[in-house]
Structure 1
Amino acid sequence: MKKLFSMVLCAMMALTLAGCGGSGDDSSTYTYSSELDIKNLDSADAEDGCSFTALHAIIDGLMKPAKDGTTTYGIAKSSEVSEDGLTHTYKLRDAKWSNGDPVTANDFVYAWHRIFKNKGNYYYMFCDGIANIAGAQELSDKIDAEQDLTDDDLNSLGVKAVDDKTLEVTTTTRVSFFDELMSFPCFYPVNEKFAEKQGDKYGKSADSILANGAFTMTKWEPGSVAEFEKNDKFYAAKDVKVDKLVMKLVQEPKVAAQSFEAGETDFAIINSDLVDKYKKDESFKNISEGFLFYIQPNLENSDLANLNVRKALSLAINRKDLCENVLKDGSQAASGFVPSGLSISPEGKDFRDEADTYTSYDKKAAQAALDEGLKELGKSEITLRLTYGTDESPMDVFATYLQNAFSGLKGLKIEMVATTKQDRIYNKQKNGDFDLSVTRWGPDYGDPTTYLTLALTNNNNNYGHWSNTEFDSIMEKVNSETDANARWQLMIDAEKIMMDDLCYIPVFEKGTATLQNTKVKNLVIKAVGVPYTFEYVSK
Structure 2
Amino acid sequence: MKKVGKIVAVALAASLLAGCGSGTKTDSSTFRFASELDIMGMDSSVIDDGMSFTAIHAITEGLMGNDKDGKTEKAVAKDYKVSDDRKTYTFTLRDDAKWSNGDDVTADDFVYAWKRIIKNAGNYAYMLGSEGANVKNADALIEKGTQATDKELDTLGVKATDKKTFVVELEAPVPYFLDLMTFPCYYPINQKFAEKAGKKYATTPDNTLSNGAFVMSKWTKGKSAEFTKNDKYYNKDAVKIKTLHMDLGMKPQSASASFDSKKVDYATISSDLVDKYKGKDVYQSFNEGYLWYLEPNHVNKDLANANIRKALSYAINRKSLCTDVLKDGSKEAEGFIPAELSQSPDGKDFRKVAGSFTSYDVKKAQEAFDQGLKELGKKEITLELLYGSDESPADKVAEYIQTNFSKIKGLKIDMKTTTKQDRINNRMKNGKFDLALTRWGPDYADPTTYLNLMSTGNANNYGKYENKTYNSLMKQIQTETNVDKRYDLMVKAEKTAMDEMANIPVFEKGGSALQVTNVSGLVHKPVGVPYTFTYVEVK
Matched, 1:339 2:338: yes
> Hey, what does 2:102 align to over in structure 1?
100
> Hey, what does 1:8 align to over in structure 2?
none
Match of 2:139 among 137, 140, 143: 137
> Hey, what does 1:380 align to over in structure 2?
379
> Hey, what does 1:482 align to over in structure 2?
481
Q: TM-score with structure 2 length normalisation?
A: 0.95
**Distance (Å, rounded) in 2 between the aligned partners of 1:64 and 1:19:** 35
**Distance (Å, rounded) in 2 between the aligned partners of 1:49 and 1:344:** 24
> Hey, what does 2:461 align to over in structure 1?
462
> Hey, what does 2:249 align to over in structure 1?
250
> Hey, what does 1:431 align to over in structure 2?
430
- Where has structure 1 moved over 3 Å in runs of 4 or more? none
* Secondary structure class of the residue paired with 1:296: strand
**Cα-to-partner distance string for 1:443-462 (whole Å, 9 max, x where unaligned):** 11110000001111111111
Q: How does 1:386-397 map to 2 (within 5 A)?
A: 386-397=385-396
Match of 2:118 among 101, 116, 119: 116
> Hey, what does 2:296 align to over in structure 1?
297
Matched, 1:125 2:124: no
> Hey, what does 1:156 align to over in structure 2?
155
Contact 2:123 2:460 in 1 (8 A): no
One-letter amino acid of the structure 2 residue matched with residue 96 of structure 1: K
The alpha-carbon deviation at position 20 of structure 1 amounts to: 2.1
Q: TM-score with structure 1 length normalisation?
A: 0.95
> Hey, what does 2:310 align to over in structure 1?
311
**Distance (Å, rounded) in 2 between the aligned partners of 1:279 and 1:155:** 55
> Hey, what does 2:45 align to over in structure 1?
44
One-letter amino acid of the structure 2 residue matched with residue 52 of structure 1: F
**Cα-to-partner distance string for 1:445-490 (whole Å, 9 max, x where unaligned):** 1100000011111111111111111111111110000000100000
One-letter amino acid of the structure 1 residue matched with residue 378 of structure 2: K
Gaps in structure 1 of 5+ consecutive residues: 1-13
Matched, 1:272 2:271: yes
The alpha-carbon deviation at position 129 of structure 1 amounts to: 2.9
**Distance (Å, rounded) in 2 between the aligned partners of 1:332 and 1:211:** 38
Contact 1:18 1:518 in 2 (8 A): no
**Cα-to-partner distance string for 1:121-153 (whole Å, 9 max, x where unaligned):** 21000001321100101101223xxx7111111
**Cα-to-partner distance string for 1:403-422 (whole Å, 9 max, x where unaligned):** 11101111000000000111
**Distance (Å, rounded) in 2 between the aligned partners of 1:140 and 1:60:** 24
**Distance (Å, rounded) in 2 between the aligned partners of 1:475 and 1:365:** 31
**Cα-to-partner distance string for 1:423-462 (whole Å, 9 max, x where unaligned):** 1111111111111000000111110000001111111111
Matched, 1:91 2:92: yes
**Distance (Å, rounded) in 1 between the aligned partners of 2:395 and 2:405:** 15
One-letter amino acid of the structure 2 residue matched with residue 248 of structure 1: D
**Distance (Å, rounded) in 2 between the aligned partners of 1:314 and 1:118:** 37
Matched, 1:504 2:503: yes
Contact 1:129 1:478 in 2 (8 A): no
Contact 1:19 1:518 in 2 (8 A): no
**Distance (Å, rounded) in 2 between the aligned partners of 1:160 and 1:496:** 39
Q: Greater relative contact order (Cα 8 A, min sep 6): structure 1 or 2?
A: 2
**Distance (Å, rounded) in 2 between the aligned partners of 1:35 and 1:215:** 21
Gaps in structure 2 of 5+ consecutive residues: 1-15
Matched, 1:224 2:223: yes
The alpha-carbon deviation at position 16 of structure 1 amounts to: 4.7
**Distance (Å, rounded) in 2 between the aligned partners of 1:209 and 1:161:** 24
**Distance (Å, rounded) in 1 between the aligned partners of 2:319 and 2:300:** 29
The alpha-carbon deviation at position 377 of structure 1 amounts to: 1.4
> Hey, what does 1:414 align to over in structure 2?
413
The alpha-carbon deviation at position 495 of structure 1 amounts to: 0.2
Instruction: Say how many residue pairs are matched.
Output: 522
Contact 2:17 2:282 in 1 (8 A): no
The alpha-carbon deviation at position 19 of structure 1 amounts to: 7.2
**Distance (Å, rounded) in 2 between the aligned partners of 1:17 and 1:255:** 17
One-letter amino acid of the structure 2 residue matched with residue 424 of structure 1: R
**Distance (Å, rounded) in 1 between the aligned partners of 2:206 and 2:131:** 36
* Secondary structure class of the residue paired with 1:352: helix
Q: How does 1:26-41 map to 2 (within 5 A)?
A: 26-41=27-42
**Cα-to-partner distance string for 1:345-376 (whole Å, 9 max, x where unaligned):** 11111100100200000011111111111122
> Hey, what does 2:8 align to over in structure 1?
none
Matched, 1:71 2:72: yes
| Seq. identity, % | 56
Contact 1:284 1:516 in 2 (8 A): yes
The alpha-carbon deviation at position 280 of structure 1 amounts to: 1.4
* Secondary structure class of the residue paired with 1:55: helix
One-letter amino acid of the structure 2 residue matched with residue 114 of structure 1: R
> Hey, what does 2:5 align to over in structure 1?
none
The alpha-carbon deviation at position 15 of structure 1 amounts to: 9.4
Contact 1:17 1:261 in 2 (8 A): no
Contact 2:289 2:509 in 1 (8 A): yes
Contact 2:18 2:516 in 1 (8 A): no
**Distance (Å, rounded) in 1 between the aligned partners of 2:20 and 2:532:** 23
> Hey, what does 2:7 align to over in structure 1?
none
**Distance (Å, rounded) in 1 between the aligned partners of 2:460 and 2:228:** 36
One-letter amino acid of the structure 2 residue matched with residue 322 of structure 1: L
Contact 2:23 2:518 in 1 (8 A): no
> Hey, what does 1:282 align to over in structure 2?
281
Distance 1:17 1:96, change over 3 A: same
One-letter amino acid of the structure 2 residue matched with residue 327 of structure 1: L
Q: How does 1:513-528 map to 2 (within 5 A)?
A: 513-528=512-527
* Secondary structure class of the residue paired with 2:358: coil
The alpha-carbon deviation at position 98 of structure 1 amounts to: 0.5
**Distance (Å, rounded) in 2 between the aligned partners of 1:129 and 1:296:** 20
**Distance (Å, rounded) in 2 between the aligned partners of 1:513 and 1:131:** 32
**Distance (Å, rounded) in 1 between the aligned partners of 2:299 and 2:149:** 35
> Hey, what does 1:5 align to over in structure 2?
none
> Hey, what does 1:365 align to over in structure 2?
364
* Secondary structure class of the residue paired with 1:501: coil
One-letter amino acid of the structure 2 residue matched with residue 44 of structure 1: S
> Hey, what does 1:58 align to over in structure 2?
59
The alpha-carbon deviation at position 288 of structure 1 amounts to: 1.5
The alpha-carbon deviation at position 529 of structure 1 amounts to: 0.8
**Cα-to-partner distance string for 1:487-536 (whole Å, 9 max, x where unaligned):** 00000000000000111000000011111111111111011110000001
> Hey, what does 1:7 align to over in structure 2?
none
**Distance (Å, rounded) in 2 between the aligned partners of 1:222 and 1:172:** 40
One-letter amino acid of the structure 1 residue matched with residue 79 of structure 2: S
**Cα-to-partner distance string for 1:30-71 (whole Å, 9 max, x where unaligned):** 111001000010000111111011101000000011111110
> Hey, what does 1:166 align to over in structure 2?
165
CA RMSD between the two structures: 1.2
Contact 2:17 2:281 in 1 (8 A): no
> Hey, what does 1:3 align to over in structure 2?
none
